[in-house]
């Protein structure tokens, strides 16, 4: 099977697939495109105009959660629970991970202080909701990597980068979530899932989107 992942370098949804490809040590190629000027071949292949796309021997898959499931089911070892209800609950939380990524994006790109504070508060509320499945042991177990880990790690990585850019972006996180984040960010597959100049690119993206966080610490000019 020849796999090509179509990526935008700072996209958290693409990063989910890269983490899983690396965890499973699956041979793959990555093609980076500029979403501000997407090539015609991409627009023809992608019904939504979004990355990630996974090209498999010429067939096209889109939507990050679908790509995760395909990779997991095609390349052992599987990282999904055997029990069907538990597996479905993992999928629910993977979808929730997308909600969290959108909430984080809204905070990161807020263009003024009031909007930033409002979006930060919403993100903190959303993140706090992870406490319940964690207390139940549904996922985030140290000895058992899961697709939820791959889906949520990009959020934790960006939280760290945002805090490095500006202390005001340090969000309140319940301790169990923080411990999960610390563990995930130390995994080789997570560390190596972004381009080497990710921090610079992410900051440049925020600056170009007139993010208040970057302007507020003087780096946006
Ligand atoms: N639901 C999609 C979301 C993917 C997504 O929003 N990708 C962004 C980049 S991070 C994108 O391609 N945006 C281009 C656009 O919206 O036109 C998934 O999970 O794959």
Same domain, 66 and 103: no
Å from CA of 136 to ligand 1 middle: 31
Looking at the domain assignment, is residue 120 inside a domain?
Answer: yes
Listing DSSP states for 130-171 in one string gives THHHHHHTSS-BTTB--HHHHHHHHHHHHHHHHHHH-GGGPP
Same domain, 64 and 91: no
Length of the chain: 221
Which H helix or E strand runs over 59? strand 59-62
Same domain, 68 and 127: no
Residue nearest to atom 15 of ligand 1 (CA): 50
Same domain, 197 and 95: yes
On whether the CB atoms of residues 2 and 194 are closer than 8 A, the answer is no
- Determine the atom of ligand 1 nearest the C-alpha atom of 65: 19
Looking at the domain assignment, is residue 79 inside a domain?
Answer: no
**Domain ends where: 74, 97, 115?**
74
Nearest alpha-carbon partner for 1 in 24, 34, 33, 19? 24
**Domain ends where: 74, 98, 114?**
74
Q: Is 98 in the pocket of ligand 1 (CB under 6 A)?
A: yes
What domain count does the chain have? 2
What CATH number is attached to the domain comprising 70?
A: 3.40.30.10
Q: Is 51 in the pocket of ligand 1 (CB under 6 A)?
A: yes
Same domain, 114 and 170: yes
Report the C-alpha gap between 217 and 221 in whole angstroms.
10
In a structure prediction context, what are the per-residue pLDDT tens digits for the chain, which is 221 residues long? 899 999 999 999 999 999 999 999 999 999 999 999 999 999 999 999 999 999 999 899 999 999 999 999 999 999 999 999 999 999 999 999 999 999 999 999 999 999 999 999 999 999 999 999 999 999 999 999 999 999 999 999 999 999 999 999 999 999 999 999 999 999 999 999 999 999 999 999 999 999 999 987 555 44
- Find tokens 């560390």 and name the residue: 191
Å from CA of 54 to ligand 1 middle: 13
Q: What residues have CB less than 8 Å from 44, skipping those under 6 apart?
A: none
- The three-class DSSP label of residue 61 is strand
Per-residue pLDDT, 217: 59
Report the C-alpha gap between 206 and 161 in whole angstroms.
11
- How far CA 33 is from CA of 19, 117, 166, in Å, comes to 19, 32, 28
Å from CA of 12 to ligand 1 middle: 9
Report the C-alpha gap between 137 and 161 in whole angstroms.
28
Same domain, 128 and 53: no
Looking at the domain assignment, is residue 18 inside a domain?
Answer: yes
Per-residue pLDDT, 215: 86
Domain holding 116, by residue range, is: 84-216
């Amino acid at each position: 099977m020849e796999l090509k992942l179509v990526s935008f370098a700072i996209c958290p949804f693409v990063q989910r697939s890269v983490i899983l490809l690396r965890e499973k040590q699956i041979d793959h190629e990555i093609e980076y495109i500029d979403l501000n000027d997407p090539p015609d071949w991409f627009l023809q292949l992608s019904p939504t105009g979004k990355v990630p796309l996974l090209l498999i021997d010429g067939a096209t898959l889109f939507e990050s959660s679908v790509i995760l499931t395909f990779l997991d089911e095609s390349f052992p070892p599987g990282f999904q629970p055997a029990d069907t209800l538990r597996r479905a609950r993992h999928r629910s939380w993977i979808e929730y991970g997308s909600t969290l990524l959108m909430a984080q994006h809204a905070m990161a790109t807020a263009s003024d202080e009031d909007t930033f504070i409002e979006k930060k508060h919403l993100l903190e509320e959303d993140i706090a909701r992870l406490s319940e499945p964690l207390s139940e042991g549904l996922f985030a177990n140290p000895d058992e990597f899961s697709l939820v880990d791959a889906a949520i790690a990009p959020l934790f990585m960006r939280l760290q980068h945002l805090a490095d850019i500006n202390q005001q972006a340090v969000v309140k996180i319940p301790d169990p979530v923080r411990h999960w984040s610390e563990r995930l960010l130390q995994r080789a597959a997570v560390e190596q899932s972004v381009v080497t100049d990710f921090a610079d690119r992410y900051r440049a993206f925020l600056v170009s989107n007139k993010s208040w966080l970057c302007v507020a610490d003087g780096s946006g000019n």
